[in-house]
A and B are shown apart, each in its own frame.
Chain A
Amino acid sequence: MPAWILYASDVLNTLLLLTGFFLIAYKRLFPYIRAYTVQSFLLAAFALMLAIQHGGVHLYVMAFFTLLIKGLLIPWTLTALIKRLEVKREIETTVNVTMSLLSAGALVLLAQWVAQPLLAHQTAETSLTLIVSLSLLLLGLFLMATRRKAITQIVGLLTMENGLFLAGVAITSGMPMLVELGVLFDIFVGILILGVFMFRIRRTFDTLDVESLRELKG
């Protein structure tokens, strides 16, 4: 493995983890979306790096579609939604930022622990990627559990997906292309559908706080 790849992989992994922490720390919506966008760009860069390392058209195609769908189309859709729905730009949390950041640290440790059985087969480089990907997965789950706006739940879900995607390209250097494209397509359609629901929820409930979705119980 050329030295620059080791170096690039380290840098990208660190930055990816950092975007996860930014998502936890931000209290305003636009920086929040931006952190997700940066994360997706980093992911595309990671795929590109693997493409250069291993060669083969399919990783290049994946890098391109990651950039297109996760880096451009989804952030663009989310921004348009926020503007059209005139969402209040403040993010309400059920856990305050300090506690959130502490929990995020704990989740990274948890990811390290969960990854152990998989690490036996890995080189030092992919080990780090695997831990980062699991961390993103858990951080996304944490965001979904503690952030109350509909749009922040969506970003939590997307962060989970990014973690998964990273795990996919890191430990297997990419599944068959058709599958990956199908997954990307499903995610995108899912976001569009959730966007439509946000419009309708906004119209009938006059709020986008998911706390108000609590009529059905038991």
Chain B
Amino acid sequence: MALLWALLLLPLLSAAVCALLKRASWVVYAHRFSTAVTVGLGLWIVYGISQNGPTSLIAGWLRMDALSAWLVLIITLVGGWAAWNSISYLNKEVQSGACPEGKLREYYALFHLFWGTMLWVAVSDNLGLLWVSVEATTLSSAFLVAFYNEKSELEAAWKYVILSSVGIALALFGTVLLYFSSLGIGEGSEGLLSWIQLILHSQQLDGGVLKLAFSLALIGYGTKVGLSPMHTWLPDAHSQAPAPISAMLSGVLLSCAFYALLRFHIILQVAGLGQFSSSLLLGFGLFTVVLAAFFMLVQQDYKRLLAYSSIENMGLIAVGVGFNVRWAVFGALLHLLYHALTKALMFLASGFLYLRFSSKRIADVSGVLRSAPKLGAIFFAGAMAISGVPPFSPFMSKFSILSAGFTSGHGVIGSVLLAGIAMVFAGYLHSIGGMVFGAAKEGAKEKGQEWVSLAVLLGVILLFGLYLPAPLNNLITRVLEMMQL
């Protein structure tokens, strides 16, 4: 599996190369090359896993199964797209004088480091290594959140690092307890940290300790997922970071954190404690959706609006897994991908809006459809897509979660969820509608080709709504098998 090694090491290597190169133009070349290779490698490996099943890189440490492949798919697709658009976005920033050219290599170096750490999250079989990788994603993205060192950015980054670290400290405790629950099963008197070994010996694990371990992991990794009430860092960090980084945080990083949580959930599921972990996910998820829906109704700032929408969608995914029936989990896994794609589109479009209007306030933006018809139309279509309007793909995943919830006897929860989704739709229509329609502001004429790559992504989102490629279906089916659904 030399290719997998290449995928894991290439981003780290490119980070070093970007940091060392002197000329800005060379840095961009290195970035382009490395992005193309990373995406190509990633997709090829994901395809291989979907055909041939799991592969182990270092027994007990690095292993890639269908769930890892699903996450790698999200990381490479959304990450690659954000990487590609970083070039045009940063060019505009450099031209407008917001970003000195010398800072470009810092950006690209950190970008690849961040990207790489997330890939390590996806292939860590050892839960301790998983923890180390998740913490590394926080550390490598901290300077990207505070990229221009403005007051509000520093505040956001400080909260991000402090709150994530506290959260993740609790997740470490959960990991220690998981190890503790398996003492005596491993070689000699040792315990287990390898996920696949834990699954194989799940019947011998101590149930009480396992429940406590999951609860701590839920609070810990849940902080990074953005589950309420631990979500408070998220709107700040997502709204202050440069647009392509917001796309990475919202689309990819949250998915990585949820992935870590899912690994814990599957252990409990296989050990016969799925009832316990899924009800906790259900409770936290539902609370998150409702809370985020209320916050979205009163948002004044469009990037914060999108950030709360991420919180809401993560809550929805948690509920989907919490229903713990086949089609709900199927929908939740799909939604992880569809949300990542759509939110990446929205955050980047909002970045281009910010470059035009130099304000993040909803009230300061209006008539985008008149002054920049293509950007406005795409932004509006994206908002409709993420709030679950057919025929876009998020509609399919949301529908799958909801209908499975209703048919599995979760009528009340399903209704509350539906009400939350309706509120979010209303919130989007109200705020984004006001920005896109209405009278055009002076001096914001359409120029540049930024809409092209946005349109391509919108096409992909639309395509997934109509057709799910067989390899992807294959991967999800394998994950559902792992979860015994």
Contacts and interface: CB of A to CB of B under 8 A. Distances in A.
Interface of A: 117-118, 120-121, 137, 141, 144, 150, 153, 157, 160-161, 164, 167-168, 171-172, 175-176, 178-180, 182-183, 185-186, 189-190, 193-194, 196-197, 200-201, 204-205, 210, 213-216, 218
B166 A157 contact: yes
Nearest to A118: B209
A215 B155 contact: yes
Contacts of A180: 128
Given A186-B139, A204-B150, A213-B155, A175 B162 contact: no
A190 B165 contact: yes
Contacts of B126: 176, 179
Contacts of B63: none
Nearest to A181: B132
Interface in B124-140: 126, 128-129, 131-132, 135-136, 138-139
B122 interface: no
Nearest to B182: A172
Interface stretch (B169-177, B412-420, B470-478): B169-177
A183 B131 contact: yes
Given A179-B129, A193-B139, A201 B158 contact: yes
Q: Main secondary structure on chain A at its contact with chain B?
A: helix
A204 B169 contact: no
9 contacts: A117-B212, A118-B212, A179-B132, A182-B132, A190-B135, A213-B159, A215-B152, A216-B239, A218-B300
A120 B239 CA distance: 47
B154 A160 contact: no
A99 to B, nearest CB: 22
B152 A216 contact: yes
Contact of B166 (A141, A182, A189): A141
Contacts of A121: 206, 209
Which of B129, B131, B139, B176 gathers most chain A CB within 10 Å? B176
Contacts of A201: 154, 158
A176 B128 contact: yes
Interface string B285-305: 000000000010011100010
Contacts of A193: 139, 142-143, 161
A213 B236 CA distance: 11
A161 B169 contact: yes
Contacts of B151: 204-205, 215
Which of B173, B177, B191 gathers most chain A CB within 10 Å? B173
A160 B240 contact: no
B161 A216 contact: no
Closest 3 CB pairs of A and B: A179-B128, A182-B132, A213-B155
Given A157-B166, A197-B157, A204-B154, A216 B236 contact: yes
B206 to A, nearest CB: 7
B158 A150 contact: yes
B118 to A, nearest CB: 15
Contact of B154 (A141, A185, A186, A200): A200
B198 interface: no
A186 B135 contact: yes
Contacts of A153: 162
Given A172-B179, A193-B143, A197-B146, A160 B166 contact: yes
A213 B311 CA distance: 22
Nearest to A156: B166
A144 B166 contact: yes
Contacts of B158: 150, 194, 197, 201, 210, 213
Interface in B180-208: 180, 183, 191, 193, 206, 208
A190 B139 contact: yes
A210 B156 CA distance: 12
Contacts of B191: 172, 175
Contacts of B193: 175-176, 179
Contact of B209 (A117, A161, A185, A200): A117
Contacts of A205: 151, 154
